[in-house]
Amino acid sequence: MKKARTLSESFYYAISGILYAFRTQRNIKIHFATALLVILMSYLLKLSTLEILTVFMTITIVLVTEMINTAIETVVDMYTQEYHPLAAVAKNVAAGAVLISAINAIVVGYIVFYKRILMLLSLSK
């Protein structure tokens, strides 16, 4: 891999990494689609500035951990295609980080959206 010599090359490589993850990883597509839905709900439910910041930080954490997981899995696969217990540990720990961030997102979503959704449902009766 070439080293980036300019800021624009650095951005190009970073965007290439994002696009690679999006093209090759089913889970990041799921996280991204969910993020778009949550952003739409945030707008429609008129969240406060602090709530919007919390939602965006949570989305960012999930997407970043998914991309780090992809990077770790790719490097491990580059090193060996055969089963190795340490390779399995590296992949499992990275997947665990994604799981923790996804659970955190569910908790944040519950705290931010639950009462508003209940109010909307009670108004529709």
Q: Output the domain CATH number for residue 39.
A: 1.10.287.3610
In a domain, 14, yes or no: no
Domain of residue 61, residue span:
28-123
Predicted confidence band at 125 (pLDDT cuts at 50, 70, 90)?
low
For residue 31, say whether it is annotated as part of any ligand binding site.
no
pLDDT (tens digit per residue) in 20-65? 999 999 999 999 999 999 999 999 999 999 999 999 999 999 999 9
51 annotated to a ligand binding site: no
Positions marked catalytic: 66
Q: Is 20 part of a structural domain of the chain?
A: no
Q: What is the pLDDT of residue 1?
A: 67
Nearest alpha carbon to residue 98 among 28, 23, 9, 17 = 28
Tally the domains of the chain: 1
In a domain, 114, yes or no: yes
Please give the backbone phi and psi of residue 47, each rounded to the nearest 5 degrees, phi first.
-65, 155
Question: Can you give the pLDDT at residue 123?
Answer: 79
Is residue 82 annotated as involved in ligand binding?
Answer: yes
Joined together, the tokens standing for residue 61 give 């954490």
Phi-psi domain of 46 (left: phi exceeds 0; alpha: psi -120 through 50; beta: other): left
